[in-house]
Amino acid sequence: MGLFWKRKSGSDFISLGLSTPDEPVAEQLEEKPVEPSPAVVEPAPVEPSRAAIVEQPVAYPVPPLPPVARVLEPQPAVLAEAAEDEEEGFLKRFRKAVSATRENIASRIEDAVKGKKKIDAVTLEELEEALIGADIGIQTTLEIIEDVRKQVDRQSLTDVDELKRVIKQHLLDILEKAERARGVASETSIADDVRPYVMMIVGVNGVGKTTTIGKLAQRIKADGNDVLICAADTFRAAASDQLAIWAERAGVPLIQQKQGTDPAAVLFDSLKAAKARNADVLIVDTAGRLHNKSNLMAELEKMKRVAGKEVPGAPHETLLVVDAVTGQNGLSQAREFMKVADVSGLVLTKLDGTAKGGIAVAIAKELSLPIRYCGIGEKADDLVVFDPKAYVDGLFE
Ligand code: GDP
């Protein structure tokens, strides 16, 4: 859970002068004529968007940064100390985020075995209820119970601590298997010439997508990188406004077009701007209208094509944001979303707001996707890299 992004120092915040359809666009143009950017004059691959970009008067007041910036090279001892502090803080925060779930599971397990000399059939039934109650999922629960039953029959499992250890190991196996299934992306292994690293963020409205993008931007920038955000959810005006607030807070430029613009065009703009600035990372917000599946699928496909054309291999990650509070509903929503987007990993938000945080296990198992990050609060730094061991330990210790 060390620093993820460590390529070069960050830059100053540059406001893009975000525009909305209500702004006095003509006046702005008179006062401050803006040279058409290369992204506009070059043959744009996304035909329908061109008009929208040209119409947009405040195109790119983003001066490209000099290609080479200062390289951060802290001393090893300082780094080691900082990493230790960070690790300790990280584990504490993780433990706190799953505290309600821990109480839910642990107290039920304690109740199930209280005053019993050995693990019997009734204990197993109560244990089953406890695990299902924490949203670990029926299938997983039954597997765990079956294994525990076998061990009890063989008399190799007799006390409650041992019981907890067996359950923990099961949960850890599931989470680690999901990581291996896809391989967890690690930005530290990104080649230097992959620039910008493009992260597409998908998920239905309300799950915490905007908040997650803001938190990610802040985190990646804090690690010394140039970050840009692309507001490609052009359907909801409110989404763009919220994103602008987060971008400003994180001190990260936002590329935005007026409501209704083709999202692929906004992405095209953003890729151009990111390349012009030699930015390290581009985080792309997308629409979450799952009720119109075929439209959304076409929209996301088109965005993928545009990204891949502009930056080889992009998008490098497509993260699906899932709200932990919605439990099994969130899981079925995620399943639906995976039909429209080629998801590479998950962000589990609001883990702090539920006693049913076992959903992380159900999600990892049923979707075979690694959980990359989790949201543990509403503040900008309330995002942590998901660590299976820290999560499982947090549930039981
Ligand atoms: P979007 O519609 O998916 O973009 O959702 P938002 O980012 O606007 O978030 C919806 C609500 O969830 C807001 O009130 C956020 O403050 C809240 N939220 C997002 N992430 C977290 C989290 O990790 N923990 C908590 N407690 N609240 C969160």
pLDDT in tens, 62-111: 444 444 333 445 566 666 776 677 777 878 888 888 899 888 887 787 78
Nearest atom (ligand 1) to Cα of 285: 4
Give mean pLDDT, residues 374-394. 92
Task: Check pocket membership of 352 for ligand 1, CB cut-off 6 A.
Answer: yes
Can you give the pLDDT at residue 360? 92
Cβ pair 233, 286 in contact under 8 A: yes
Encode pLDDT of 221-237 as tens digits: 998 899 999 999 988 87
Distance from residue 375's CA to the centre of ligand 1 (Å):
9
Instruction: Kindly report the protein residue whose alpha carbon is nearest to atom 19 of ligand 1.
Output: 208
Nearest atom (ligand 1) to Cα of 207: 3
Q: What band does 116 get if pLDDT is binned at 50, 70 and 90? A: confident
Task: Check pocket membership of 19 for ligand 1, CB cut-off 6 A.
Answer: no
With a cut of 70, say whether residue 319 has pLDDT above it: yes
Distance from residue 208's CA to the centre of ligand 1 (Å):
4
Distance from residue 63's CA to the centre of ligand 1 (Å):
32
Task: Check pocket membership of 242 for ligand 1, CB cut-off 6 A.
Answer: yes
User: Which residues, other chains included, contact 11 with Cβ-Cβ below 8 Å and sequence gap of 6+?
Assistant: 65, 69, 226, 277
% pLDDT > 70, the chain:
77
Task: Check pocket membership of 207 for ligand 1, CB cut-off 6 A.
Answer: yes
Nearest atom (ligand 1) to Cα of 377: 24
Task: Check pocket membership of 308 for ligand 1, CB cut-off 6 A.
Answer: no
Tokens of 364: 């990892």
Q: What band does 161 get if pLDDT is binned at 50, 70 and 90? A: confident
Give mean pLDDT, residues 383-396. 89
Pocket test for ligand 1, best of 94, 201, 211 (most atoms within 8 A of CB): 211
**pLDDT, averaged across the chain:** 79
% pLDDT > 90, the chain:
40
User: If phi over 0 gives left and psi between -120 and 50 gives alpha, with beta otherwise, what is residue 385?
Assistant: beta
CA-to-CA separations, 349 to 61, 96, 210, 261, 330, in angstroms, rounded: 34, 14, 11, 28, 11
Distance from residue 1's CA to the centre of ligand 1 (Å):
23
Can you give the pLDDT at residue 187? 58
Cβ pair 9, 69 in contact under 8 A: yes
Distance from residue 296's CA to the centre of ligand 1 (Å):
22
Can you give the pLDDT at residue 104? 85
Can you give the pLDDT at residue 264? 96
Q: What is the DSSP string of 13-81?
A: --------TTS-HHHHHHHS--PPPHHHHS--S-TTHHHHHHH-SS----PPPPS--PPP---HHHHHH
With a cut of 90, say whether residue 52 has pLDDT above it: no
Distance from residue 195's CA to the centre of ligand 1 (Å):
29
Can you give the pLDDT at residue 83? 67
Task: Check pocket membership of 206 for ligand 1, CB cut-off 6 A.
Answer: yes
Task: Check pocket membership of 378 for ligand 1, CB cut-off 6 A.
Answer: yes
- Give the predicted TM-score (pTM) of the model: 0.79
